[in-house]
Structure 1
């Protein structure tokens, strides 16, 4: 009676395991950066974009009584880096270089002007107005003039991007850019320009209505 020959399981050499690990790492890296490294590969599958958004709904209406008297255009280069405490940047960490461009409006809120802030003489030839100081609006980034110059991400961040709903999120640098633009607007002479423009506008309007002398001052209303 012939005894069946038992085949011993084939052992995978150590060098084969090492090669498999290297191939796996290269595959992950290729999935994360291949489309940006190889020119023309992104258009190989002919992707299309469809806008299936629903209609915009009006939620509220607010009356605006402010006079936008000046607008400043600003640009800032944001260099945002996030590092892991015990890992090198090649493994975990991000650095984004972002150019943010936006505007800040300066306005005078005419809705705060009360009856005691406007004085007209009996002959209606002289008028005195006291207005609140000009204020600054919120910074508004222009998406057409704002862009990321470069993005550097560690290996773990690239792998995380593959499973993220928004792998190219720039929300952090956008908020930082808006903050810097707002600070630059506060240090500028934008509010002074707005008050000067408001004064010129009111004087021209009241002169056209027959007033010969118009005085405009600014202070707490």
Structure 2
């Protein structure tokens, strides 16, 4: 009976050894044999569905790129941080566009001179678009919890699942606030004027005058987006 048991063990070992020998020989001869248990990613997603098409009536004249470091701490009073609380540091990048809304132009916004060589264009003030946080380039340098909170999350689940989302929203808000303190509005006016002058000069207009309602940027779009969040 012992002999039969040894024979049963030697048979699969011999098959395995033969298989390994064949793989080694194939590799030595340059023959590619695919791995029998290799992973394969299968994408069963459906193609994107076009929901709507919108007519663009905004000229995006400038863009500011920003980097921000958000250091947010959820502190529990009278309790040491190593025991309870949460502390996260997030480094994010984002951009803010400044655009001129052409949809609001009235019939008297463009005035052509009698000689057909001069033109005056009155435009609204540039507007700040909502800040766009670039999620692909952002990262958390730290997201640490006290050991009591870790144990609680392990057994009962995370009682603050939106903490990281709050940090990223804070980064987006800070980028939007920083954009309002820059010279993006002035740069947008310069770029818009340069674009219109080049375009109209090519059409034969020699003197092109572009004016804006105000010299200060209109931040209504950015403020509205922040309040909606």
Q: 1:170 is paired with a residue of what secondary structure? A: helix
TM-score (norm 2): 0.69
Q: 2:94 is paired with a residue of what secondary structure? A: strand
Question: Match of 1:113?
Answer: 105
TM-score (norm 1): 0.71
Q: 2:79 is paired with a residue of what secondary structure? A: coil
Count of aligned pairs between the two proteins: 175
Distance of 1:100 and 1:139 partners within structure 2: 12
Question: Match of 1:216?
Answer: 210
Correspondence 1:182 to 2:176: yes
Deviations 1:45-95 (A, max 9, x none): xx9987665544444432220101111110011100011234332222100
Question: Match of 1:130?
Answer: 122
Shift of the alpha carbon at 1:160? 4.2
Deviations 1:151-200 (A, max 9, x none): 11012332344324996962011000011101110000011101110000
Question: Match of 2:187?
Answer: 193
Question: Match of 1:153?
Answer: 145
Structure ranking higher in helix proportion? 2
Shift of the alpha carbon at 1:124? 1.4
Q: Tell me, yes or no, if the aligned pair for 1:161 and 1:167 is still in contact at 8 Å.
A: no
Distance of 2:86 and 2:41 partners within structure 1: 29
Question: Match of 1:38?
Answer: none
Deviations 1:70-127 (A, max 9, x none): 1111001110001123433222210001101011111111111111111002331100
5+ residue gaps, structure 2, are: 1-38, 215-229
Which runs of structure 2 are paired with 1:1-221 in the superposition (5 Å)? 54-162=46-154, 163-164=157-158, 170-219=164-213
Report which stretch shifted further, 116-125 or 167-176: 167-176
5+ residue gaps, structure 1, are: 1-46
Distance of 1:50 and 1:167 partners within structure 2: 30
RMSD: 2.7
Distance of 2:40 and 2:81 partners within structure 1: 35
Report which stretch shifted further, 101-110 or 48-57: 48-57
Q: 1:63 is paired with a residue of what secondary structure? A: coil
Q: Tell me, yes or no, if the aligned pair for 1:125 and 1:213 is still in contact at 8 Å.
A: yes
Q: Tell me, yes or no, if the aligned pair for 1:103 and 1:141 is still in contact at 8 Å.
A: yes
Distance of 1:135 and 1:59 partners within structure 2: 27
Segments ≥4 residues shifted beyond 4 Å? 47-55, 165-169
The 3 A distance-change label for structure 1 pair 109 and 168 is closer
